[in-house]
Structure 1
Amino acid sequence: MPVSPEANILNQNLQQAVLTALMASNKPNVLLALSGGLDSMVLLHLLASLRQKAGFCLKIAHVHHGLQAQADDWAAFCQAQADALQLDFQLCRVQLADPARNIEQQARTLRYQALAGLLTPDTVLMTAHHADDQMETVLLALKRGSGLQGLTAIAAQKPFAGTQLLRPLLAFSRTELEQYAKVQQLAFVTDPSNQDDSFDRNFLRQHVLPLLQQRFPTISQTTARSCQLLQQSLEYQQQQLAIGLTPVLRHDQLDLTRLAQLANPARDLLLRHFLNRYDLTPSAEQTREFVQCFLLSETDAQPQLQWGDWQLRRFDGLLYLLDLKAQQQAAEKPAEGAWLAPERLLNWQHWQFLWHSDATKAPDATWSSMPLAVPLAEQIRLTTGQLNQRFKPADSAHSKALKDWCKQWKVPPWRRGSMPFIIARQQNTVIAVPGFASHCTAAQAQSWLHYKADV
């Protein structure tokens, strides 16, 4: 059957979009997330046809959620597509923790976690999101009252799992993908749950988008273009916020006194930018609550907020975020001490340690070092608690209990019990508190402790 000029142009445009994404990533391997639906089958066909021309290795992954009776059939269909093209295939089975609650979000999170586990630094992940997906996401963001970050919707490319996530079809509507699939005679599966309009996205897809597209035929493409422009604005804003954040940090913690001195919108934007480090995206109401609790309260107050798995607290004018899950796990399994072996890396709690005779043997520049006046033949151990133990830093004329040093060093009360310190077995005395002080100067060193806090 002859192919129309329009179909040829669409084919060329689709291929060029995929090639452009591949060239920008500069990676030799591609992992395609294949659901077996129309969109991912179109992307599979495009990638398979471009392999020789672009010189990349293509692999396929299918995530089996087990939510539909046809889930095994879909997995078998994807396996058959990979076999027909002689491609490596990975089947990832995931299980929702609570299938009765927020199914879409749980499935999405588990899907990306599974895919992340298959990636290497030289492999990019590709998904087949298209312009209609983009418009649905924008409408859902508007429903939630999202700001700039939410309205950028789905990014065409972004860092992911140590490499990149690419979505080369975002500029094309579902109608265009259907046209391509028809010309290429592509088989694909259909998920019956897509007809369930109790899900917000399905409601938009079935009842809202058709009306908009009937009145404005190119609205999917123009929405995708708007998202690209918003993404540029967001990238620039993030760059400026990264510059503006430095003056309101102290010891890499948010200095609430300095933050409170800023006028809006800089204050709230910098706050959200800092909290994004912890994957927290506070709403406007939560931001107002934060300002009231942490910036407008008396300096001697001890405000606390709990957002998800994080607890926000203030101490010495700084903001601290406590991981409640990690705290619970630590409480269920109390920390045990650990002996340090010479010249052997030790992972302990949320720290890494290396005890060495050479001051220059820290693994990299992110590590810190402190001198110890004990030879490698001595036995030393890490421990926590026991804050009544006495310690005399090299720069102090007196020894004091660790609990008193904690106050002087302004260690938050909730951290003192888990703060590591080192005891020399022979003297049975505290000889160092990593991150704070050693019992000797560099000139007195007989060995060196290199250390790094992971969190």
Structure 2
Amino acid sequence: MDDQDFEAHLLDALKPWLPSGRVWIAFSGGLDSTVLLHAMVALAARQRLPEVRAIHVHHGLQAVADAWVEHCQTVCLALGVELCVRRVRVDPGSSLERAAREARYGAFQALLGPGELLLQAQHQDDQAETILYRLLRGAGVRGLAAMPASRPLAAGRLVRPLLGVPRAVLQAYAERHGLNWVEDPSNTDTRLARNFLRQEILPRLRRHWPQAPAVLARAAAQQAEAQVLLQELAELDLQSCRMGPPLDWLDFPCLDLDALRQLSSARQRNLLRHWLADFGRLPDSRHWRGWEALRDAAVDASPRWRLDGGELRRHGRRLVWLESLWCAAWAGQEQPWAALQKPLPLPANGTVWFEGAAPAGRLSIAYRQGGEILDRPGRGRRDLKRLLQEAGIPEFIRPRLPLLLREGQVIAIANVLDCAGHGKLRWRPPCTHSPGQTG
């Protein structure tokens, strides 16, 4: 692929997203991003393109990280490109690679303005490596789609215009133009899974199947297409399974469990993967027995399926998603409430306020402990547990439901039972999921 063909490929890959307010190049200083930056500058000299800038993320994980910054500054100065350097903190954890990636993308998201593009230089060999890595980790269709050619990112869009280009083409381009780049010493450490695939496995595959990277990249594209079809099917199924929350003041995402049971097991899992993607990390294949146990449990059971970031529960014919805040054990402390004319914030439990004439006496907000009895004028004594059952309050909400006490006696239940002869206790529960995700 000569320079003209290379630039034509680059322009064709970018055409759907141009013009843009600005084009950023994720510039590490390595071979791939150096070629992409150089080619974009050459293309901008012959085509009407938006302003091209570069961003270098300084992770501070290598002793030579400061030298990389200097190298990137030198390259950008020679090309007449403005360079933005972002220093990030990488939180230690079980996976340093993942933590570095999250920090890097955090910097990208903070940088991108509306309509701007971030170009990354992953190529065909990177795509082949990714699909092999995910295949060996047991990924499904979504994971085997590997890296998308483009996707939304913050207010802008991430684009990978070189995914169809072999690394050898980039190497040849760099040598033709006498480009200089840096090498990450950690790339030679084959104890790391990706490096092992890159250094040991892919070269062996090429010796037997020279087109192996292209074939694997094509397989990733086919998986991406299959994933689109699965998402479209999930959206169709979601239309028939959407359901509002059990009470209008509970903003919980819900599905109709009866409608969900009418689908095949494969379509149930497909719909749940699609639905749960907004709420947390998806379960792997080993954990789907939890869904079957919840789905098939007896009517009077209280099953739960614990997932990363929360859990699924049942309430009548509803399947309810509860974020982790609602799943923790609750032992809320009693809070004095001297001024009912002002809303009272509750620690990790939203806010209460009172509508109407305030009752006299020492007032406080407390929570159910068990065995509470309410005296109702003209209606006798009522058991709190029975009142909550009759009101349809989900079992998992009852421990957090604020109670209004006067001199230690329950006189009102938030959103459920008014204070006789006075007013209403209102409660806005903590909202922990993003707007638009309900149902």
Question: What is the TM-score of this pair, normalised by structure 2?
Answer: 0.76
Q: What is the deviation of 1:147?
A: 1.7
Partner Cα separation in structure 1 for residue 365 and residue 172 of structure 2: 65
Unaligned ranges ≥5, structure 2: 245-252, 358-363, 406-410, 420-426, 434-439
Contact (CA 8 Å) 1:28, 1:56: kept in 2 or not?
yes
Picking from 74, 78, 81, the partner of 1:80 is 74
Q: What is the deviation of 1:277?
A: 2.1
CA change 1:263–1:328 in 2 (3 A) is: closer
Equivalent residues in 2 for 1:271-286, closer than 5 Å: 271-286=272-287
Match of 2:63 in 1: 69
Partner Cα separation in structure 2 for residue 151 and residue 194 of structure 1: 23
Q: What is the deviation of 1:87?
A: 0.8
Contact (CA 8 Å) 1:17, 1:169: kept in 2 or not?
no
Match of 1:8 in 2: 3
Identity of aligned residues (%): 30
Match of 1:311 in 2: 311
Secondary structure at the residue paired with 2:319?
Answer: strand
Equivalent residues in 2 for 1:354-373, closer than 5 Å: none
Secondary structure at the residue paired with 1:77?
Answer: helix
Q: CA RMSD of the aligned region, Å?
A: 4.3
Given residue 407 of structure 1, which amino acid in structure 2 is its aligned partner? Q
Match of 1:413 in 2: 395
Contact (CA 8 Å) 1:213, 1:219: kept in 2 or not?
yes
* Aligned: 1:122 with 2:115: yes
Match of 1:294 in 2: 294
Secondary structure at the residue paired with 1:414?
Answer: coil
Secondary structure at the residue paired with 1:265?
Answer: helix
Given residue 56 of structure 2, which amino acid in structure 1 is its aligned partner? H
Deviations 1:28-83 (CA, angstroms, capped at 9, x unpaired)? 22222211111111111122233352331233222222222111211222233334
Partner Cα separation in structure 2 for residue 153 and residue 334 of structure 1: 51
Partner Cα separation in structure 2 for residue 237 and residue 155 of structure 1: 16
* Aligned: 1:223 with 2:216: yes
* Aligned: 1:135 with 2:136: no
Unaligned ranges ≥5, structure 1: 1-5, 356-371, 376-382, 424-428, 440-448
Contact (CA 8 Å) 2:310, 2:327: kept in 1 or not?
no
Greater mean deviation of Cα atoms: 397-406 or 262-271: 397-406
CA change 1:48–1:254 in 2 (3 A) is: same
Secondary structure at the residue paired with 2:86?
Answer: strand
Given residue 7 of structure 1, which amino acid in structure 2 is its aligned partner? D
Partner Cα separation in structure 1 for residue 22 and residue 59 of structure 2: 25
Q: What is the deviation of 1:168?
A: 0.7
Q: What is the deviation of 1:326?
A: 7.9
Partner Cα separation in structure 1 for residue 38 and residue 338 of structure 2: 55
Secondary structure at the residue paired with 1:278?
Answer: coil
* Aligned: 1:183 with 2:165: no
Partner Cα separation in structure 2 for residue 308 and residue 38 of structure 1: 37
Given residue 244 of structure 1, which amino acid in structure 2 is its aligned partner? D
Contact (CA 8 Å) 2:254, 2:321: kept in 1 or not?
no
Partner Cα separation in structure 2 for residue 255 and residue 278 of structure 1: 18
CA change 1:384–1:110 in 2 (3 A) is: farther
Secondary structure at the residue paired with 1:312?
Answer: strand
Q: What is the deviation of 1:327?
A: 6.6
Picking from 39, 52, 64, the partner of 1:46 is 39
Deviations 1:289-329 (CA, angstroms, capped at 9, x unpaired)? 321x2112212222233333433333334333433368769
Residue correspondences, number: 408
CA change 1:86–1:151 in 2 (3 A) is: closer
Given residue 108 of structure 1, which amino acid in structure 2 is its aligned partner? R
CA change 1:386–1:331 in 2 (3 A) is: closer
Q: What is the deviation of 1:195?
A: 0.6
Partner Cα separation in structure 2 for residue 134 and residue 338 of structure 1: 63
Match of 1:445 in 2: none
Match of 2:196 in 1: 203
CA change 1:285–1:454 in 2 (3 A) is: closer
Match of 2:231 in 1: 238
